[in-house]
């Protein structure tokens, strides 16, 4: 198989990303072509010692195809200074692939945004409070970011937490010579903006009943997803990844796999008769077993239904149910409804049923509590912690 190649006015690349990718480009000072490749996560360069474009291109193809020695490469390979672009490239190759689909997408978008804002050749060690504050102002106002529109503090916080995570990772990771990529995180301990009054909508019972009534008209998969979201309280991302082997009809339980859970929390929960009846009915109409998805994609029964499609089904159901669009009323509002409906349950039990790792998250982000109930739950949580 021939190496994949790409030519631009500035450089020429050969090989495949993450395997044998190499690039040639002219040195801005001498005009001599340089060849660049990666070994053990570190980017290396060597001079080809000439200015012949066709010859340099041929050497790049040969190097990518068999990683042969570079002719006329008398100088030893040397590591280049760390730039923000190189740091993101390394993080993107080693860490991002371990994340879920949504997080991978955000990683890529955030990397591009920060590279445009701070500059590709920026030394990460020189980032400071001024850069932090400057980004916050620009992101709030919509002067940077993929949408070009103003965003909430919650979105800004999400972006900055990613940048902080990358810098923390670099401060703990070493190259093949045992040197830290960064001596320290220059943005450590800086405060991220937080939403003062975040919109956390809880789906009302009458709204759920209205959606349930029209759910089968939208799609049978939407009906199943709606019932499971209401009866289990789990995220739609985990629900759409369910396989039939995760459903135990005899015991009346569902296995939630760690790789499909946002928190990486693998657990088994009992489910209601309503949820089991819905699953049994669907299985009878669409026989499937093993690793077959419970919610297959409409055009590919071996793949799970996509997140975008489930979002579109929700929007369609709202219209059919006569519900006016409301910010925050989406799949996650069912998770908040679950937490609020089971407020009389012990926190430990509720966390297990809904897949929460900590009770603090439930109290802060999901349950709608009165002042009196809040006080009682707070005492119970303190006692259990003690």
Per-residue pLDDT tens for 168-219? 999 999 877 778 899 999 999 999 887 665 667 888 999 999 999 999 999 9
Spell 46-68 as b/e; 16+ CB within 10 A means b.
bbbbeeeeeebbebbbbbbeeee
Q: What is the pTM of this model?
A: 0.57
Nearest alpha carbon to residue 336 among 246, 221, 208, 202: 202
Question: Is 130 a domain residue?
Answer: yes
Residue 276 and residue 134 share a domain? no
Question: Is 187 a domain residue?
Answer: no
Residue 140 and residue 35 share a domain? no
* Tally of domains within the chain: 3
Nearest alpha carbon to residue 23 among 36, 8, 5: 36
Name the residue with higher pLDDT: 371 or 173: 173
Per-residue pLDDT tens for 137-148? 999 999 999 888
Residue 245 and residue 280 share a domain? yes
**Rounded mean pLDDT, 83-88:** 94
Residue 374 and residue 229 share a domain? yes
Residue 236 and residue 114 share a domain? no
Question: Is 219 a domain residue?
Answer: yes
pLDDT, residue 363, reads: 64
**Rounded mean pLDDT, 4-23:** 68
Q: Which of 79, 114, 141 delimits the end of a domain?
A: 79
Q: Which of 143, 170, 197 delimits the end of a domain?
A: 170
What residue numbers bound the domain in which 35 lies? Answer: 5-79
Question: Is 194 a domain residue?
Answer: no
- Return the CATH number at 338: 1.10.443.10
Question: Is 199 a domain residue?
Answer: no
CA distance 238 to 386: 33
Question: Is 179 a domain residue?
Answer: no
Confidence label for 260 from pLDDT (cuts 50, 70 and 90): confident
Per-residue pLDDT tens for 96-112? 998 877 788 899 999 99
Question: Per-residue DSSP letters for 215-279?
Answer: HHHH-HHHHHHHHHHHHH---HHHHTT-BGGGEETTTTEEEE-GGGSTT---EEEE--HHHHHHH
Q: How many CB atoms lie within 10 A of CB 30?
A: 11
Residue 75 and residue 88 share a domain? no
Q: Which of 33, 48, 79 delimits the end of a domain?
A: 79
Residue 258 and residue 317 share a domain? yes
Residue 340 and residue 234 share a domain? yes
Burial (Cβ within 10 Å: 0-12, 13-18, ≥19) of residue 223: buried
Residue 348 and residue 221 share a domain? yes
Per-residue pLDDT tens for 302-339? 999 998 999 999 999 999 999 988 888 899 899 889 88
Question: Is 186 a domain residue?
Answer: no
Per-residue pLDDT tens for 24-80? 989 888 888 889 887 766 778 888 888 888 888 888 888 877 654 444 444 344 456
Per-residue pLDDT tens for 143-168? 999 888 999 888 999 999 999 999 99
Residue 116 and residue 64 share a domain? no
Residue 353 and residue 229 share a domain? yes
Residue 225 and residue 348 share a domain? yes
Residue 88 host element (H or E): helix 84-94
Residue bearing tokens 């100088």: 75
Question: Is 278 a domain residue?
Answer: yes
């Amino acid at each position: 198989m021939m190496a994949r190649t790409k030519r631009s006015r500035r450089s020429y690349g050969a090989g495949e990303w993450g395997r044998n990718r190499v690039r040639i480009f002219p040195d801005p000072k001498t005009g001599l072509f340089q060849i660049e490749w990666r070994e053990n996560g570190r980017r290396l360069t060597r001079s080809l010692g000439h200015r012949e474009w066709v010859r340099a291109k041929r050497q790049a193809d040969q190097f990518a195809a068999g990683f042969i020695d570079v002719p006329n490469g008398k100088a030893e390979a040397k590591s280049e200074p760390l730039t923000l672009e190189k740091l993101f490239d390394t993080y993107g190759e080693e860490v991002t692939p371990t994340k879920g689909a949504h997080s991978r997408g955000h990683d890529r978008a955030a990397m591009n945004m920060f590279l445009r804002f701070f500059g590709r050749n920026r030394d990460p060690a020189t980032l400071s409070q001024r850069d932090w504050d400057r980004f916050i102002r620009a992101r709030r106002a919509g002067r940077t970011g993929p949408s070009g529109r103003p965003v909430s503090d919650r979105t800004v916080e999400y972006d900055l937490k990613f940048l902080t995570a990358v810098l923390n990772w670099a401060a703990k990771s070493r190259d093949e010579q045992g040197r830290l990529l960064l001596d320290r995180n220059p943005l450590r301990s800086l405060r991220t903006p937080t939403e003062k009054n975040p919109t956390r909508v809880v789906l009302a019972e009458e709204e759920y009943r209205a959606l349930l009534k029209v759910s089968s008209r939208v799609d049978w998969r939407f009906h199943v997803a709606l019932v499971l979201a209401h009866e289990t309280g789990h995220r739609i991302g985990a629900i759409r990844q369910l396989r039939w082997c995760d459903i135990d009809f005899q015991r009346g339980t569902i296995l939630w796999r760690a790789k499909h859970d946002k928190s990486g929390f693998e657990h088994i929960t009992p489910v209601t008769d309503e949820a089991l009846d819905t699953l049994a009915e669907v299985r009878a109409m669409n026989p499937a077993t093993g690793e077959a998805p419970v919610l297959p994609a409409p055009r590919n029964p071996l793949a799970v239904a996509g997140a975008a499609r489930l979002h579109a089904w929700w929007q369609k159901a709202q219209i059919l149910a006569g519900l006016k669009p409301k910010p925050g009323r989406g799949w996650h509002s069912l998770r908040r409804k679950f937490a609020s409906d089971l407020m009389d349950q012990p926190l430990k039990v509720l966390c297990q049923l809904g897949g929460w790792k900590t009770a603090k998250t439930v109290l802060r982000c999901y349950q709608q509590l009165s002042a009196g109930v809040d006080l009682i739950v707070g005492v119970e949580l303190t006692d259990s912690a003690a």
